[in-house]
């Protein structure tokens, strides 16, 4: 069975949307296998976002991700990697489709695109790597 890493980012936790995100995962039929609340370390985030190192939004993103606790979730299901990306919607909440987590619950944050409520692994390789990082 496929597994993915979902993060409820600090904005989602602060806005008390953790339950809403978990509800959407469960009502879709995916299984929550493991879950924890953590305030991520710089080291963990450097590794988690290694593909984005050197990009202009990298530092603000890592700072934002350390600004409060996140909820890390191990989710299992058929096609769950693509399936959760579909539930989440596109990266920018402004253009994310209604019906998606970011489209329904995200705000227009202006330049702060990083505040888009959730993260989901984008490939089997990313999922394996990220799950090993967050659930070592």
Binding residues for ATP: 9, 57, 85, 91, 102, 116
Smallest gap from residue 116 Cβ to ligand GTP (A): 5
Which of these, 76, 5, 101, 88, lies nearest to 44 by C-alpha position?
5
Q: Which of residues 83-122 bind Mg ion (CB under 5 A)?
A: 122
Looking at the Cβ atoms of 35 and 57, the one nearer to ligand GTP is: 57
Active site residue 48: no
Binding-site residue ranges:
9, 57, 85, 91, 102, 116
Q: Are 2 and 80 in contact (CB under 8 A)?
A: yes
Q: Which of residues 115-134 bind Mg ion (CB under 5 A)?
A: 122
Smallest gap from residue 121 Cβ to Mg ion (A): 8
Q: Are 1 and 77 in contact (CB under 8 A)?
A: yes
**Which residues lie closer than 8 Å to 43 by C-beta, 6 or more apart?**
none
Distance, CA of 62 to CA of 60 (rounded, Å): 6
Q: DSSP assignment, residue 124? A: H
Q: Using CB under 6 A, list all residues that contact ligand GTP.
A: 57, 60-61, 91, 113-114, 116, 119-120, 122
Note the residues at the interface with Mg ion (CB under 5 A): 122
Q: Which residues are catalytic?
A: 119
């Amino acid at each position: 069975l496929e597994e993915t890493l979902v993060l409820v980012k600090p904005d989602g936790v602060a806005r008390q949307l953790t339950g809403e995100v978990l509800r959407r995962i469960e009502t879709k039929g995916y299984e929550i296998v493991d879950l924890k609340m953590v305030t991520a370390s710089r080291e963990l985030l450097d590794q988690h976002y290694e593909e984005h190192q050197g990009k202009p939004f990298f530092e603000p993103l890592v700072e934002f991700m350390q600004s409060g606790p996140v909820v890390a979730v191990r989710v299992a299901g058929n096609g769950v990697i693509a399936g959760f990306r579909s539930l989440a919607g596109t990266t920018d909440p402004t253009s994310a489709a209604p019906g998606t987590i970011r489209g329904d619950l995200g705000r227009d944050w202006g330049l702060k695109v990083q505040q888009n409520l959730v993260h989901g692994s984008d490939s089997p390789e990313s999922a394996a790597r990220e799950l090993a990082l967050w659930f070592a």
